[in-house]
A and B are shown apart, each in its own frame.
Chain A
Amino acid sequence: MQDFLIMNTLGYPILSLLVFLPLAGVIPLLLLKNDEVAKYSTLAATLLIAIVSLPLYFKFDKTTAMFQFGEHHAWIPMWDINYTLGIDGISLLLVLLTTMIMPLCVLCSWNYIKTRVRPFLACLLIMETSMLGVFMSLDFVLFYILWEAMLIPMYLLIAIWGGPRKIYASIKFFLYTLAGSVLLLVAIIALYLENGSFSIPMMMGQDYSSVFQIYVFLAFFLAFAIKVPMFPFHTWLPAAHVEAPTAGSVVLASVLLKMGTYGFLRFCLPITPEATITFMPYILWLSIAGIIYGGFTALAQSDMKKLIAYSSVGHMGFVTLGIFVLNVHGIEGALLQMINHGITTGALFIIVGMIYERTHSRELSMAAGVGKFMPIYVTFLGFFSLSSLAFPGTNSFIGEFLVLAGAFSKSKIIAACAIPGAILAAAYMLRMLQKVVWGEEHNPDQSYLKDLNVREILTLAPLLVFVLWIGLNPGPFLDVMHTSVANLIQQVGIAGLEQQNFIEIAKLVIPQ
């Protein structure tokens, strides 16, 4: 087969199974009439998918940068469009993150969603199919179809089950993301005409002219920067997060945002390396702007969901910073930080959803002082807040540390500018923690609140395990990405050597 793909040897098509199992999970929803049974069936389906995805980690070959568990079938021969799936060290953890998060999304919607339960669950499952497909597909058309198709269930999740301003938020989300990706399609076709194939790995490492690379890069960048979202394309995010139901927010924060940064890693860096080096300084400064801006805005929020949404803008700023410093520490840190953000922010949204189910408000002042009545709840909140502010011993510390280490070796000034972001994170998270746990002198009467039940504890516990696991022993997670990241750096680095003049320009914008 092709030289970039190691075909699947497990005896069963594991990647296709992962993509289509969620769709199969939709079928019982069409037949069942009972909402309770539908919930259990969906939970079973998502758990099954999570279990099926486990061999990916254990059978993964860490020594090669090639795509593994490959599958290849002709799809539209006329345009040389194929159904090609495969994962490498960059996508492996994101696939696992997705399969792990989805059962928790079902659990956290158990009582939250009261109307039209079965369509809601169907939307979640269709989301899972397209999200997994995006991370696995090695054909650009397949990628684009899944990338766009995801908008529909996500739109419906916000528009039907969302909060009071759901119409505004859902339309804004849809328009922003769609407008960003129309030029991506043009870039994809242009790449096809250069290569004669839509295969993503075959587009890497080609000698495109500089001008061509710059156009393609800009089209990529617009699509992915909106998805991440990078400052100044972030304005859809707070609206969408605030209005979405808990599960929608979790999916959005944990997986959808990662698609943007995944796009940078998978497409921008290896396909258009020269342009990446040209634009690197500007993107680094945009990342810094996002970190600082997200931090300050989060500090000013009184709505808990908005606070976490803006903290996402800051955290994702760290991720793009790590990607575009273009060294091993930076990119590995960014990848790990993507996973961390998925775990921690997902958990925080679940936590806010839990208090919302009880008080029917997301206002910080309404949730003040619940610590006395909900000790288990605030314990979880405490851990996840610490993780969010990158406290040593938690997962985010490792990620942020690696990103900053990478940034320091690139430019001390850039790194120095990012540091206030870490301090701001501590400020806004501790502010929230303090308010929720102790509140002020006169808190609203919280005595009617019940602490978490078993289902809710089971929702949060797995995430907490990963917070501490990655925080204390990140080795197993970093090992799997190492070869692929090194290969990626090499792909960009070769182009960088040829492009000394770009580096000269870069030096002007980035003070050493």
Chain B
Amino acid sequence: MMKMALFLPELFLLLSCLVIFLLTLGKMSSTTVRNITAALSVITFLICTASLKLEGELFFRAYRIDLFSQIFKLCITGGVALLLLFSSELKGIEEKVRAEYYLFLLLSSLGLVMLVSSVELLAIFVSLELSSFALYLLVPMRDDQGGLREQMEAGIKYILFGVVATGIMLFGMSYLFGLTGTTYLNELIPAMSQVITSPAAIVGIAMVMGGFFFKLGLFPFHFWLPDVYQGASNETTAFIASVPKLGAVALLIRVATLAAPSADALVNLLMILAVCSMFYGNLIALVQKDIKRMLAFSGIAHAGFVILGVLTLKDTGFASAIYYITGYMLMNLACFLVICNVSVKGENLQISDLTGLYKRAPLMAFTLAVGMFALAGIPPFVGFMGKFMLLAGALQAGHLPLVILAAINTAIAIYYYLSVVRISYCTDPEERPAVAVAPLAQAVSVALVLIIIVMGIMPAAVVNIATVAVRGIM
């Protein structure tokens, strides 16, 4: 019975999936299904809050409940709940598949929740696939708007790149198993320290990381990001852009502990990838016209930033990475909340479509401005504190050139974030209509703004708990 309590969030999520599955068989209206899904996701979030302090192991020690996993579960379910609360109607999805859409969304979350608790290579693989396959299905579910079948293209790209990345990851896992004879992470850690100097170990770890680089959208696994963001409906993109990245960072940290305390070759590799990612993402984002594409490239740049924390291979760096990616999820959700609400029929938004937003929907304009300034790393928002701690951690680990390049990148990035704010605040709406925003979405946007500010001003609590969590797995 105790073991059941440990597994309660997952069980409840699984149960929710079954409930939604039954609903898809009936003829219930999509609004009802949404309300039920939102309610279930909020309950899941509350269960995760209650089980934050639990510890224990399940399934032959392949599945561990510890502070590290519970924090991530809390963030993941929280993100999903916020997303479901503000996406009141699925504008870009055909009416007849909306119920299924919610099913796959919850399944994907379930995969992520299980992923962060998995401490055995095959369990990791299975959970990752559960979350990925549900996502592969969400992308092409968008209704065919222009007849260009963009969503199909995006879906195919997503699945092809995804499968290749997973293949690379599996290959890397076989290396790790071959070197050490075990697939359990806690046995891998001491075993790896024996062989960490051998090239095979580095290659193995790097290849396993590749699978999560794909989820995170780090260079050179980023090719799918802009097209999928653009091809998927706004709500799907909001999910892909925020929640799975938490899982990716969680697992990157778990894998990076295999290489701690020192593995120069791996650190150098990560450094190169981080720098490429930042420059590539920021420079190309400068010329984007579609706001989702712009956020995709900004996401590539932010992925590079998070790696700054991972490559320190220290607890402070890992904790900063957790803080940063949590903040990143919230900032992204804030931006996508605005995109979902301003988009009338679920179509893609050009940046110019935000013209005069401050007159059409003042709260949306404000939320967007906060989100953009936060993504740009301007204080007092969470983006700044995260950036600051990542830079401080990386400099502490002695990577001065990397830190300077990252700092230069924040200066490059400000231009495109600012141009969104400029469009929404400095121009007249001309003929564009006012934007109607549901009260619930308004409440979520106020909540997001407050969290972004409070987390930016008082990061101590979050960072402390993240540090404790990270020390527990090292």
Contact = CB atoms under 8 A, between A and B. Distances in A.
Contacts of A1: none
Contacts of A166: 426
Q: Which of A144, A156, A186 has the most CB of B within 10 A?
A: A186
Contact of A192 (B316, B392, B460): B392
Interface stretch (A72-80, A422-430, A455-463): A72-80
Interface in A354-377: none
B407 A160 contact: no
Contacts of A149: 378-380
Contacts of B389: 79
Interface in B436-474: 459-460, 463-464, 467
B422 A171 contact: yes
B467 A160 contact: no
A189 B425 contact: no
B402 to A, nearest CB: 11
B467 A78 contact: yes
Contacts of A155: 418, 421
A192 B389 CA distance: 12
B426 A183 contact: no
B32 interface: no
Nearest to B391: A189
B460 A189 contact: no
Interface stretch (A172-180, A306-314, A338-346): A172-180
A450 to B, nearest CB: 31
Contact of B395 (A148, A152, A174, A186): A186
B460 A186 contact: no
B415 A182 contact: no
Contact of B418 (A141, A160, A171, A193): A171
Contacts of A151: 378
Nearest to A116: B358
Contacts of A146: 379
A170 B422 CA distance: 9
Nearest to B415: A175
Contacts of B379: 144-146, 148-149
B396 A159 contact: no
Contacts of B384: 145, 148
A76 B415 contact: no
A78 B380 CA distance: 18
A335 to B, nearest CB: 27
Contacts of B373: 152
Contacts of A160: 358, 425-426
B388 interface: yes
Contacts of B403: 186, 189
Given A151-B378, A186-B404, A76 B463 contact: yes
A179 B412 CA distance: 8
Contacts of B392: 79, 189, 192
B395 to A, nearest CB: 5
Interface residues on A, range: 20 to 34
A190 interface: yes
A151 B463 CA distance: 26
B445 to A, nearest CB: 15
Interface residues of B, number: 33
A113 interface: no
Interface in A440-462: none
B426 A76 contact: no
Contact of B460 (A76, A152, A170): A76
A76 B388 CA distance: 12
Given A76-B459, A145-B379, A189-B403, A174 B410 contact: no
B414 interface: yes
B467 A178 contact: no
B463 A78 contact: yes
B344 interface: no
Contacts of A183: 404, 407
Nearest to A77: B460
A193 B422 CA distance: 37
A182 B411 contact: yes
A154 B306 CA distance: 30
A214 interface: no
A357 B236 CA distance: 51
B408 interface: yes
A141 B425 CA distance: 30
A433 B400 CA distance: 54
Given A79-B389, A186-B391, 20 more contacts: A77-B460, A78-B460, A146-B379, A148-B378, A155-B418, A156-B425, A159-B421, A159-B425, A166-B426, A167-B422, A171-B415, A174-B414, A175-B415, A182-B407, A182-B408, A185-B407, A186-B395, A186-B404, A186-B407, A189-B391
Closest 10 CB pairs of A and B: A145-B379, A182-B407, A179-B411, A76-B460, A149-B379, A189-B392, A182-B411, A189-B395, A148-B379, A159-B426
Interface of A: 75-79, 141, 144-146, 148-149, 151-152, 155-156, 159-160, 166-167, 170-171, 174-175, 178-179, 182-183, 185-186, 189-190, 192-193
Interface of B: 316, 358, 373, 378-380, 384, 388-389, 391-392, 395-396, 400, 403-404, 407-408, 410-411, 414-415, 418-419, 421-422, 425-426, 459-460, 463-464, 467
29 contacts: A76-B459, A76-B460, A76-B463, A77-B460, A78-B467, A141-B388, A145-B380, A148-B384, A152-B373, A152-B378, A155-B418, A155-B421, A159-B422, A159-B426, A160-B425, A166-B426, A171-B418, A171-B419, A175-B411, A178-B410, A179-B411, A182-B410, A182-B411, A185-B388, A185-B391, A185-B407, A186-B407, A189-B395, A190-B400
